[in-house]
Structure 1
Amino acid sequence: MNFFASLKEALTEGVISQIAAQKLEKPEKIQKIFDALGVSLVGGLIKRVTTESGMKLVYNQAQKIEFGPENIERILKNEAEFEKLKAVGEKDLNTVLPGLKSAISSMVSKYAGTQNSLVASLCGVAMPIVMSVIKQKIAEKKLDAESLAAYMGDQREEMLTVLPDLNDKLIETMGIQYLLQNFSVPRTEESGVVSRGAGTEKGSASQPFLVGVDMQQQADYQPYLKWFGIGALVIGAIAAGIYFWNQRQAASEESTSETDSTMIEARTIQEPPATQDSVVKDTTTAVAAVTPPAATTANPMSAYLENATAPAGKVFKFENVDFENNTTQLKAEANAPIAALAELLKKYPNAQVKLVGYANDAQQPVTNKVLSVKRVFAIKDILIKSGISYIRIDAEGRGTGVSKDSAPGQKPLREIYVRFVKK
């Protein structure tokens, strides 16, 4: 039985009815709230266990829960025990997922069509129930901290099937875009094992989640921190100053072409696919004037970067980069252009790009938004593995590119674009 099935089993009709009676709300509304809170909290926990400290924290907090899922209905009937349950839940929420209660409450209240205050009060009930199911799984499967992290990572796909219509907001609110495509269990000093999903690899390095440094390295140098702490702070302050200065310079450089690049991006969303080629032609017109035609035809991105006078912000359609239907599996012809982009970014180490993806071939329960997100992060992952720093690659999935504000007749897009944020 997967995690969400066990969670559903814990939240019986009796539990939902009791809470509905206490809150003077319809059971259907309470059920909808708990369904949304369940996927939100689990999404946050999956993200949390992608660091060594996070996975140990989740494991230890779950072990402290003093009741099992089978006791929830009984606890709700006892006011003193119910208040204790909520107190434990609030503490766990603030400890394990600090700062997320407000964002989760806001998202779920809009989804369920109810007051934010009601959802906020139920967060303290939902959290210990989720943690009690985790404790149950630890006992059933004899999990340690690492294997628990791997187990939680395996729930990603199932998480997206519970409430498909909430996925877009869930991804944005919980910040799990990259997690949908890549999940890595942190390496611990004790085991030296790196787990990926259900599998493990001996002696291989973990790819950290949304960070560029393996957090475990900090432990290796712990004895020396007291000697180099002050020096590190000074260096960090200097580096931060340089970074923000460069950011200001970059912002100033981009401001001259902001209007042009915004118009380009708007056209890539609003025009039918039949006219998309014209977008690329428009973006390369300035380059063609100063670059030999042969070079532009071979690789317009390369020609653009070679032109020192061309402003940052150009958008190029990523030609021949496509995926098999309803998957993140790249078609064979996509390997060459992605490899070419990696080499180009190595040649121009100051260049930074943003991958923008559209998808129109998703099949329920996966949405086009989710599929587009997973696809651009699949490409980002390939570029990172090719040696490109993650901080140089941004990624955004935009679904089909069709919204209520789109031009009449706009057809769903299935394309990848590359925008050069910085040259």
Structure 2
Amino acid sequence: MNLFANLSEVFNSDVIARIATYIDEPTEKTNKAVNGLVYTIVGGLMKRTTSEIGVNQLYNHVQKGRYDGSLIDNLNATLRDPAQTNTLITHGNDVISHLLPAMKSSIGTMISSYANIRNSSAISLLGLTTTIVLHVLGKQVKDRKLDADGLAALLFSERDALVNAVPEEFLPRLIDKVGLQQIVTGAAVPARRATAETSGKTVTTATRPSASYEYVDDSDNDNGALTKWGFGALVVVALAAGGYYIYQNTQKYSGESISDVTTITSDTVQADTVTRSLAVPADPKAPKSLSVASPASATVASGLAQLLTPYLTNPALPKGRVFPLPGVAFMPGSLSLTPGSQAALGELTTLLKTYPQLQIQLVGYANDAMLGTTNRALSFKRVNLIKQQLLNAGVNYLRVDAIGRGTGVSLRDTSRIRKPALRKIDMKVVAK
């Protein structure tokens, strides 16, 4: 299923014209807003189905709301009636409030700014577009007899299509506003509901069984009493052993000081935590405690710091300069960083924390996409993976933008000079 192709057919020129008349906005702007909302709603539903509760909520709304595709067949006629159109808008906004709680206002503001329409028009379009999207999804559920897990899998099968379809100017703000970093990088997967075998049939459970607090009297059961006493004795022994271990270690280390600087070893690099993967190797010549209170006191010894420090500390130099990210690279055709990349990302993290006014845009290029994806999608997933690591290391998301430009070669370029396909990560200084 190509969800976006189906939605493009539904939102044809006649439908867009009728919607534009209803909200009293230009047709071109209405079309731009509807397209932006389609990507926003589909992306938001993908994110919602990364939890078991979200999977069930979406499926229940489709079933109970009777979103079976029947609206699609008579959409033009329905939109001729203002009362019916208003009903669709109201129902859609109610669903959004449940499926994407506390996001209706922010989505409206984003679409209003993106398409240059009134905020009230954007909210009306959000409700109407949500209803239509759910009918398109509901038709697939009905025709293919999908359960809740099948619906979630159907949505996630459109992940690459989403990245490829969203306009380049809209994708960064969509990801930041809806929180789709893990979706576009492929780190998120749809949640699957727990299943249990009962009488030969598979029963899907939306929640765990509730705990029982009924009192059971086993005072006459010798085995039960022995079990209780045995368990109690084990608890006492374990507590005593733990207390002795803590005492011994306290005595052992009481006279020693702990260094604030941690040196990364080969074992540490393998640790499955973002914090350790972004740690900066300690300079053996540096003092044992580093202060980042002022840029002048920061001690970072590598290519990126040497490249950026003179620029960042000189207020006469304007913002907007683009720098390469030395040492940051990916394995061919993948989202796996090369071994030396983590140290470079650690250095970038340190720079961002050292210069709290610094805002950057990561610009990715790729020419090594494998079958099943495009260079544009791969480049965008890579820069968003880097961005996610920076956010996990404590950098505010408002300070890091990310955009993928594919190979960097436009198909509309008619110049005779053949440009090389690029594969790199650049960093643009937006503010300093």
Identify the residue that residue 226 of structure 2 maps to in structure 1. Answer: none
1:69 aligns with 2:48: no
**Per-residue CA shift, 1:19-42, capped at 9, x if unaligned?**
122233322221111001111111
Identify the residue that residue 330 of structure 1 maps to in structure 2. Answer: 336
Select the structure of larger CA radius of gyration.
Answer: 2
- Cα distance in 2, alignment partners of residues 187 and 78 from structure 1: 41
1:165 aligns with 2:176: no
Q: How far is 1:328 from its partner?
A: 4.2
1:88 aligns with 2:106: no
Q: How far is 1:72 from its partner?
A: 1.7
Pick one of 301, 304, 315 that aligns with 2:280. 301
Identify the residue that residue 108 of structure 1 maps to in structure 2. Answer: 111
Residue correspondence of structure 1 range 11-410 to structure 2 within 5 A: 11-63=11-63, 64-66=65-67, 67-162=70-165, 163-181=167-185, 182-190=187-195, 219-220=207-208, 222-223=210-211, 301-303=280-282, 308-311=288-291, 320-324=327-331, 328-330=334-336, 334-335=338-339, 358-362=362-366, 365-366=376-377, 371-377=382-388, 398-399=401-402
Q: Secondary structure at 1:29's aligned position in 2?
A: helix
Question: Which runs of 5 or more structure 1 residues have no equivalent in the other structure?
Answer: 193-215, 228-286, 292-298, 343-355, 381-389, 402-411, 417-423
Contact 2:329 2:341 in 1 (8 A): no
- Cα distance in 1, alignment partners of residues 208 and 189 from structure 2: 20
- Cα distance in 2, alignment partners of residues 102 and 8 from structure 1: 25
Question: Residue type of the partner of 2:120?
Answer: S
Contact 1:164 1:366 in 2 (8 A): no
- Cα distance in 2, alignment partners of residues 169 and 357 from structure 1: 12
Contact 1:357 1:372 in 2 (8 A): no
Question: Residue type of the partner of 1:68?
Answer: L
CA 1:187/1:19 → structure 2, altered by over 3 Å: closer, same or farther?
closer
- Cα distance in 1, alignment partners of residues 183 and 214 from structure 2: 34
Identity percentage of aligned residues: 25
CA 1:226/1:133 → structure 2, altered by over 3 Å: closer, same or farther?
farther
Question: Residue type of the partner of 2:19?
Answer: I
Contact 1:357 1:373 in 2 (8 A): no
Question: Residue type of the partner of 2:49?
Answer: V
Q: How far is 1:330 from its partner?
A: 3.2
- Cα distance in 2, alignment partners of residues 225 and 116 from structure 1: 52
Q: Secondary structure at 2:192's aligned position in 1?
A: coil
Q: How far is 1:52 from its partner?
A: 0.4
**Per-residue CA shift, 1:159-192, capped at 9, x if unaligned?**
1222222001101110111222212222322169
- Cα distance in 2, alignment partners of residues 13 and 341 from structure 1: 47
CA 1:68/1:54 → structure 2, altered by over 3 Å: closer, same or farther?
same
Contact 1:65 1:131 in 2 (8 A): no
- Cα distance in 2, alignment partners of residues 19 and 104 from structure 1: 19
Q: How far is 1:13 from its partner?
A: 1.7
CA 1:311/1:2 → structure 2, altered by over 3 Å: closer, same or farther?
same
Question: Which runs of 5 or more structure 2 residues have no equivalent in the other structure?
Answer: 198-204, 216-260, 264-276, 293-297, 305-324, 347-359, 368-374, 405-422, 428-432
Q: How far is 1:80 from its partner?
A: 3.3
Q: How far is 1:371 from its partner?
A: 3.9
The TM-score with structure 2 as length reference comes to 0.56
Q: Secondary structure at 1:301's aligned position in 2?
A: coil
Question: Residue type of the partner of 1:179?
Answer: I
Q: How far is 1:370 from its partner?
A: 5.5
Identify the residue that residue 6 of structure 2 maps to in structure 1. Answer: 6
CA 1:11/1:304 → structure 2, altered by over 3 Å: closer, same or farther?
same
Q: How far is 1:399 from its partner?
A: 3.8
- Cα distance in 2, alignment partners of residues 84 and 123 from structure 1: 13
The TM-score with structure 1 as length reference comes to 0.57
CA 1:99/1:398 → structure 2, altered by over 3 Å: closer, same or farther?
closer
CA 1:394/1:185 → structure 2, altered by over 3 Å: closer, same or farther?
farther
Identify the residue that residue 425 of structure 2 maps to in structure 1. Answer: 414
Q: Secondary structure at 2:146's aligned position in 1?
A: coil
- Cα distance in 2, alignment partners of residues 6 and 400 from structure 1: 27
Contact 2:25 2:117 in 1 (8 A): no
**Per-residue CA shift, 1:62-104, capped at 9, x if unaligned?**
2223533222222112333223212211211111111111111
- Cα distance in 2, alignment partners of residues 88 and 55 from structure 1: 20
Question: Residue type of the partner of 1:414?
Answer: I
Q: Secondary structure at 1:147's aligned position in 2?
A: helix
- Cα distance in 2, alignment partners of residues 374 and 88 from structure 1: 36
- Cα distance in 1, alignment partners of residues 213 and 124 from structure 2: 42
- Cα distance in 1, alignment partners of residues 162 and 329 from structure 2: 26
- Cα distance in 1, alignment partners of residues 95 and 105 from structure 2: 15
Q: How far is 1:308 from its partner?
A: 4.2
Contact 2:175 2:181 in 1 (8 A): yes
**Per-residue CA shift, 1:238-286, capped at 9, x if unaligned?**
xxxxxxxxxxxxxxxxxxxxxxxxxxxxxxxxxxxxxxxxxxxxxxxxx
Question: Residue type of the partner of 2:39?
Answer: V
Structure with more of its chain in helix, by fraction: 1
- Which stretch of the first structure deviates more once superposed, 62-71 or 112-121? 62-71
- Cα distance in 2, alignment partners of residues 226 and 178 from structure 1: 43
